[in-house]
Structure 1
């Protein structure tokens, strides 16, 4: 403090000005300690409170807890542990050093403890609405709304390759009778139990669409051939009718 005072005083040319600086430095400690703050050399630190009950407490609603879990609490009223302010919703940012998990929680009611809503595990997997994302990079227990979702996966253009064995419609019909669903498409029960992989299912549905396209192309060819045969038959009938009419006139 003395060194700071000496340095600042050197920039003040007049004795009167230096005296004013000295008075200011004398009053600073009183102004500082008159605030509701406490910064002890050891122990708990308080900002806006002179009686911090946690490692760091800001006012009466924000705490930094350093127990087994490292917790930043909001709307907490410390009492040596962690209690809730029963007049407000509460929230927390919690880190579990033992498991390497970072959690974000909020309370569902004024008097309830914060529940974990988002979790990020040490492997980078994130859960929203679930604390167990498993092997998924993002697991969401609930509905998702988005403007666009990009899925990078394999596609089904192999259906148009020459070596592809297109099932006959009779084979498709037989499979439906036996299984109750299309080949390579999961049943309703399987979907209910296991869900679907979006990219994989889109590829399978495209496969069926492409197969239908091939069926339609074949059907178009058959119709065209049948139309040609019918036209030929009509021509033959017309010629035969002309011959019959000629014979009747004789």
Structure 2
């Protein structure tokens, strides 16, 4: 039986990546005279990958990576007004509105009556706290964990602290790499809830052969899935 259900936040509960794409489009416009869009996108992604260990995930790291890329592609000749505009774009990204995804509120409210609910997310501490507060969902979660990365050890610790361990837990999210695969490796259920936009650094192959892997179209499919898992008791279900 499931004791606790974990939810990713960005692009699982509310829209997020679309705002990063809009900001990156603005970044391309600002540097249009210095680099082709494809080349600029490659350089920015490379900077983000390098900087994950320094700045972590989220808006601040993305903004600093844009500034670093602007300096690189202009060979340190980027005008100050462009750097100013990049900073302003980062500030706007930090304040984007909260737009819940389909079925989110109904599903979270229903499951809060029967299970311990956990919000497990990466990103800037202040930004994620802001978004959770504005979502109106905060009171429905028994625990909120804003982490630097999501690994099997991360999930093992969180579900041990809040429930009977990962084996009695389920994690739902849009990222196979961060939300699904490490949760399954920790011994729990990993449920993929695809989003139309996924950051390139979160791409991974689906673990289709894993007994505790499931995929649903949106969070509306989580309620019957949870009922199915609980009905089957502690054993794994058959073929999908």
Counting helix residues as a fraction of each chain, which structure ranks higher? 2
Normalising by structure 1, we get a TM-score of 0.18
Counting strand residues as a fraction of each chain, which structure ranks higher? 1
Higher relative contact order (CA 8 A, sep 6+): 2
Max Rg structure: 1
Normalising by structure 2, we get a TM-score of 0.18
